[in-house]
A and B are shown apart, each in its own frame.
Chain A
Amino acid sequence: MTTAPAPAATREALGPALVRLQRAGADIIVVDADLGKSTSARAFKDAYPERFFTFGVAEQNMVSAAAGLATLGSTVFATTFAVFAEHAFDQLRMSVAQPRANVKIVASHGGVSTGEDGASAQSIEDLALFSSLLNFSVVVPADIVEAEAIIDAAVANDGPWYIRTGRPKLPVVYTEGHRFRLGKADMLRDGSDLTIVACGLLVERSLRAAEALAKDGIQARVLNMATIRPLDVEALEAAARETGAIVVAEEHLVHSGLGAMCAQALATRHPVPMEFVGVQNRYGESGTWDEVLDIMGLNAAGVTEAAKRVLARKR
């Protein structure tokens, strides 16, 4: 009998993964804006102090300097909180996205599950911003195992990436050795009645929703859409054709995140009824991380209800 792994935060993957990859021969440089303890990047500083540069609380300088560092051939990881990465949007656009700089933005404390810090610290628009930057790969891990696999993939692939990690300790979905494939949805459960497309912490919650639905005789397919850009439109189209209804669940504003991008992709390929679980036209507030998620309806019950709504429209 094996015991379930202890809950862990996706942000905890970064530092140890970078140390491991550097030790294995990668050429990694980490830049930081005074949040290395929270993002876990400090582990890399402890192991490779000469390869770690702090720029203080100055994200714009950090991002442009990261782009400059990358011109010499290193893979440069720039780390801060998601809301503060947004602070450097123009620098990301001109210095990183347009020249396809090999800079990986790893932004922790993504989404509303930052909790107690309140609305200013809750990024509900970062996926929209980074998806609007051409050449960026935009990725949200479902758990710490996938987060670590994503860091590996980011080092193996040239070009700009945005990786959103989170603060709360989450149940682990994947087993060790899980291989992440950029731009490929991962079907965690098959079903024929509808498809739930989710990213981040909504993946595990959607699996729980699928179990609840199964008790009512509803078979839901669950896709982990960890890659927001480039979106796996083939998997989406197959889901639409084969299940005829789609729910998208994410920790982001619904009008500009994964759901909106899925709807746009399906509109020209195979439109089906869709429902969207996400942040609905509001800013967050303080509370524990799961309280704030409950306030927003970002839980298994919210996904289950959306599934029932979309099934009613499917008939």
Chain B
Amino acid sequence: MVTTASTDLKVLTRRLRRHIVNMVYTAKSGHIGGSMSAIDIMAVLYTRILKHQPNDPAWVGRDRFIMSKGHCTPAQYAILAECGYFPVEELASFRRKGGRLQGHSVLGKPGGVENSAGALGMGLSFGLGIRLGMRLRGMDNRVVVLMGDGEQDEGQVWEAAMAAAHHEVDGLIAIIDRNGIQNDDFTANTMRTEPLDEKYRAFGWEVRAGIDGHDHAAIEETLRWAYSVRGKPVCVIFDTVKGKGVSFMENNPGFHGAPPSDEQYALAMTELADAEGTR
């Protein structure tokens, strides 16, 4: 189990990336690109910041992580398994008949998955509801919502952005994994959503943007700041690279939702190999 501050994030995130590639290759389907862009943020969050107990997923004192970009289950299952929510061996059942690890997030399957997702744009609203409920109960826990940048096309995101500011909800942290690519094409060619930072600021949020979403120290420093903000919801926009960690997948729209071929798989695992091995 890797939930302590002494975790070597470099080693962990290479292992997580191997899990992601293995899962999608074995399932012959799934979303590698957006999982690879988000995994450094998720690794830092789960091992350094988030209050949680992998042996007690329903612990009332926990912070909540809401996976709004619900297609990136390879990243979510990989970090949950490495934290000890379920055995790493179960990752091989990803998208398989009879397994718990469905293609898109399903609340409670397995424990640690806090919301159902797959249709985009709903996670921020769901997290807002949780945080309002926590506030009513006097709970100081944080709700962290991970969204994609393509997801910002969804109107519901902005309904939630308005409402969070209107209700002066603090402790709600929106993270945008700004990898610049969505399903069909680069986000800039699909729907111009920039400048996201100025938009969230105009909606009444505290915002930090332009952070390298693969720099573990920068991620940790930024998330600690986000945890400390009072009186307003917080949006952190991380600049990331889709497919990060495998040279030919990086910034390549072809690896949003397609599995690697046998050759691509072998090459990817070679690139992600380290002293721990190639699996």
Q: Which residues of B contact A50 (CB under 8 A)?
A: 136
B116 touches A95 (CB 8 A): yes
Chain B residues 139-192 with CB under 8 Å of chain A are: 155-156, 159-160, 162-163, 166-167
Interface residue B209 (Cβ < 8 Å from any Cβ of A): no
CB distance from A254 to the nearest CB of B (A): 31
Indicate whether A99 sits within 8 Å of B122 (C-beta atoms), given known contacts A65-B163, A68-B128, A72-B133.
no
Q: Which of A63, A68, A70 lies at the interface centre, i.e. has the most chain B CB atoms within 10 A of its CB?
A: A68
Q: Which residues of B contact A55 (CB under 8 A)?
A: 159, 163
Indicate whether A95 sits within 8 Å of B136 (C-beta atoms), given known contacts A64-B156, A65-B128, A68-B129.
no
B163 touches A58 (CB 8 A): yes
Indicate whether A94 sits within 8 Å of B133 (C-beta atoms), given known contacts A56-B163, A61-B159, A68-B125.
no
B130 touches A91 (CB 8 A): no
Chain A residues 52-106 with CB under 8 Å of chain B are: 53, 55-56, 58, 60-61, 63-72, 74, 90-91, 94-95, 98-99
Closest to B66 in A: A68
B126 touches A67 (CB 8 A): yes
Q: Which residues of A contact B125 (CB under 8 A)?
A: 60-61, 63-65, 68, 91
Q: Which residues of B contact A90 (CB under 8 A)?
A: 119, 122
Between A and B, how many residue pairs show CB distances below 8 Å?
Answer: 90
Interface residue B88 (Cβ < 8 Å from any Cβ of A): no
Indicate whether A94 sits within 8 Å of B116 (C-beta atoms), given known contacts A65-B125, A99-B108.
yes
CB distance from A31 to the nearest CB of B (A): 8
Q: Which residues of A contact B129 (CB under 8 A)?
A: 64-71
A94 touches B122 (CB 8 A): yes
Q: Which of B108, B127, B130, B167 contacts A53 (CB 8 A)?
A: B167
Q: A29-B133, A58-B159, A60-B155 are in contact. List 8 more A-B contacts (CB 8 A).
A: A60-B121, A61-B156, A64-B122, A64-B125, A64-B126, A66-B129, A69-B133, A72-B130
Residues of B whose CB lies within 8 Å of any CB of A are 106-108, 114-119, 121-122, 125-134, 136-137, 155-156, 159-160, 162-163, 166-167
6 contacts between A and B (CB under 8 A): A60-B122, A61-B128, A61-B160, A71-B130, A90-B122, A98-B116
